[in-house]
Structure 1
Amino acid sequence: MFDSNFQIPTELLSFRNTLPEDVNIIVGENGSGKSYMLSQLAENHLKSNNKDVVVIANSIHDKFKPHHSIRFHPLKNSVGRKYTKDVLKKSLINMSKDSSKRINFATNVLKYVGFDSKIGFRLHFKNTSLNDIDDIFDLNDELFLKYKLQDIDIEKEEREDIYSELLKYLNYSIKNKKVYNQRTYNEFYDIIWFNMNDYESSYKFSLINLFKWEYILVRNKIIEPIDVFLSKNDQIIPLLSASSGELALITSFLYITSIINEKTVILIDEPENSLHPKWQREYVKLLVDIVYLYQPHIVIATHSPLIVSGAELNVKGAKIYKAQNFELELQEKRTLNIEEIYYDLFDTIMPENRILSNIIVNQLNKLEKKEISLENFLKYLDPIYDNVRDKRQIKMLDGISKLAEKIVLQRKN
């Protein structure tokens, strides 16, 4: 089932029953196999249990394979920024089936990112003038259907449902027109806002039902794709005008919220892409706060020490695995600062890193106390040399090597 080179801990293949926070984080250098391990985990969970698998791939070069299972729910960055509109619409359709919990979670996501707790939509009819629409409203239902919907290859009952929903939208829009002149009717449509704090009231406009038929209506040249808007301090923001980080967080979390069920598997690859440092540090906590009622099994692959430190600090059940040479090693639970995480988990030493000094001083003390030999001390420095890039650090390491030799020489004298 797995590549023979990979040794994946059994904890990642099953749900934890002792803690509500089943969070596992895989770290490691590029090429260590983190993303491939996630793809193999997805395959395993789809084959060996009856749980939904939600995949969030933030890298354009993810390793997840296409899968036809109805339990496989991928959201991939490779599909592009414009796909976020479709994701958001599909998420609202799913949430409408179970509005109470899911909508509350969605509201929390919008507020966290800094937006108002509402989402706006606007529908444009294609190539329709003001006079055309006025004429249509003077006709009866059958003539309207014949006029606009007769060529759609669907059952009559569904055609009538579409008509009913379009009529609701048109009536609502006409009541809220702010301008009246001879420009196209499209320009008079107000944005319909779904207030996430009053979802049941917003739902009466039934625009969510139109999302289900949007593809049919666009394909038959009746409407343009439905526009999506956000609001920040009551200022209207087209969805695609939001920053990459805002879109990534909103889209992925709303997607998870709309799909998750009891004991869902959530696999996330490189969530830090485009995220503000504050959001990286709080990412795992926010995710757990949103999904904890469903007790999911979460596995995250990341390059971000901020995500790791935030998880260790805020999520009691978080386990950290280091990927190296196609193996995963569980790391001892401890609260580390960013410099320590860079060195211990990512084998990276930052310029002006005080941790580097502390580590070396500790080893020098051991050398002086004859707890280690000069040969072992110099071997200890080898991987540090390999991971430093700053000239000042290299110069410091050269000086430390000479200092170690002096310590041994003085010991002999």
Structure 2
Amino acid sequence: MEVCFVVGRNGAGKSQYLIDQAKGNNQDSLYLCNTVHDRSQELKTSKRFSVKNTGSHPNNVMKSVIKKMMREGTHRLHQIEKILLYCGYASHITVTMRAGKIDSRLDDFSDTSSIKKLTEMIDNYFNGEDEISFNVNFGETSDISSLSKLENLLHQEKPLRHYGMVKAIEISLYKNNGEPVPLLNASSGELSLMTSLIFVLGEISGTNMILIDEPENSLHPRWQREYTSMLCSLIEYHEVKVIIATHSPLIVTGAQLDERVSSSIYHPATGNLEFSSSTNIEELLWGQFEIISPKSRFLSEKLAEKLEELSAHKVSLNQSIEFIDSASKASFDDGQQDIFIAARQLADSIARG
């Protein structure tokens, strides 16, 4: 799968590049923005997920996708199981609806036939109870009759709430030990990852491009590193191009380790497009993120280059040591520290002649 990473410092034009790509696409694009600085409102034809959009509220996304997948066939619900399990939850949820106090002015409404149908639905489904719950199991075949009722209620949610017949719809997740967790009580990282990926599953049909702005926000480092792989596992049977604007070196290096991903790097500040190799990914980490990866061939080459320049009197000992120290701070692999110690000793030896 093709994945293009858009990198650069703040103000380099990463978000604008995503917007321009969506505008130039001849099909509907999926646009996901996990930052409050979202400027994608101008994308009228794209399907948008935004932390600033009420339609992207976790409850709303989950209800919308469940409704859509049940309409297309309950077999599609199984796709959500992978996301819940990955985030540490069981493969089922509960949707609870609470009955409201029916508006006493209903008799004054002109559309009495529609109101009568809604009232009959509520009387039939709630059977005099204050609430009704539906268990949706994404890993097994659920009760078709129960799912059909849930689909009908979700389809009619807007008028039901408008007339006061339903006052609340709540969704609960479950931990693996069976403990229920209200959806909105999940951590910010869990909500961000679950909601955005479920949105992709629900909206990917008819799309040939997915654009994602700063997916790393609120995500645990492990989820950042595995983000591209997880996304690809969900959409690998769809012919789509993925473009990700990111500040996270973990998202970039994680993609490099996945053989299914053919990655490239775009620099909006210069307009340069580079195709991934182990060397230029490492150079990118140093140049854009000031990070050095474990087992870095780039590190070895740069250290050798600086020591050769010292030997040729092109740089001073202080300049060589400054580079070694900066590289040491940029490394997140403790095993590399022995290399930096040896490099400092070798630099001292070269300087002494």
Q: Same fold (TM over 0.5)?
A: yes
Change in Cα spacing, 1:380 to 1:63, as seen in structure 2 (3 Å) is: farther
Give unmatched runs, 5+ long, in structure 1.
1-20, 129-145, 175-184
CA distance in 1, matches of 2:211, 2:60: 21
In terms of mean alpha carbon deviation, does 234-243 or 79-88 score higher?
Answer: 79-88
Change in Cα spacing, 1:33 to 1:363, as seen in structure 2 (3 Å) is: same
CA distance in 2, matches of 1:200, 1:68: 38
CA distance in 1, matches of 2:280, 2:59: 39
Query: Deviations for 1:168-217, whole angstroms, at most 9, x for unmatched residues?
Result: 4213xx6xxxxxxxxxx53xx35321122224626545222222322222
% same residue: 26
Change in Cα spacing, 1:27 to 1:231, as seen in structure 2 (3 Å) is: same
Give unmatched runs, 5+ long, in structure 2.
331-336
The equivalent of 2:314 in structure 1 is: 374
CA distance in 1, matches of 2:194, 2:109: 34
1:64 equivalent among 33, 36, 40: 40
Q: Is the 8 A contact 1:126 1:222 kept in 2?
A: yes
Query: Deviations for 1:106-158, whole angstroms, at most 9, x for unmatched residues?
Result: 12111211212222111122247xxxxxxxxxxxxxxxxx97854556472x4
Secondary structure (helix, strand or coil) at the match of 1:225 reads: strand
The Cα shift of 1:165 comes to: 3.3
- Note if 1:170 corresponds to 2:126: yes
Q: Is the 8 A contact 1:218 1:224 kept in 2?
A: yes
- Note if 1:84 corresponds to 2:58: yes
CA distance in 2, matches of 1:322, 1:62: 20
Q: Is the 8 A contact 2:229 2:258 kept in 1?
A: yes
- Note if 1:28 corresponds to 2:8: yes
Secondary structure (helix, strand or coil) at the match of 1:314 reads: coil
1:55 equivalent among 10, 31, 50: 31
CA distance in 2, matches of 1:332, 1:212: 46
Tell me the matched-pair count: 342
2:100 equivalent among 126, 130, 141: 126
1:286 equivalent among 209, 220, 230: 230
Superposed, which structure 2 residues align to 1:278-357 within 5 Å? Answer: 278-323=222-267, 325-334=269-278, 340=282, 343-344=285-286, 346-349=288-291
The alignment yields a C-alpha RMSD, in angstroms, of: 4.0
In terms of mean alpha carbon deviation, does 313-322 or 76-85 score higher?
Answer: 76-85
The equivalent of 1:275 in structure 2 is: 219
The Cα shift of 1:251 comes to: 0.8
The equivalent of 1:37 in structure 2 is: 17
The Cα shift of 1:22 comes to: 2.3
The Cα shift of 1:266 comes to: 0.9
The Cα shift of 1:389 comes to: 7.5
The equivalent of 1:133 in structure 2 is: none
Change in Cα spacing, 1:388 to 1:100, as seen in structure 2 (3 Å) is: same
Secondary structure (helix, strand or coil) at the match of 1:191 reads: strand
CA distance in 2, matches of 1:203, 1:318: 43
1:195 equivalent among 126, 137, 146: 137
1:113 equivalent among 79, 87, 98: 87
Q: Is the 8 A contact 1:214 1:225 kept in 2?
A: no
Stretches of 4+ aligned residues off by more than 6 angstroms = 352-357, 376-390
Change in Cα spacing, 1:36 to 1:318, as seen in structure 2 (3 Å) is: same
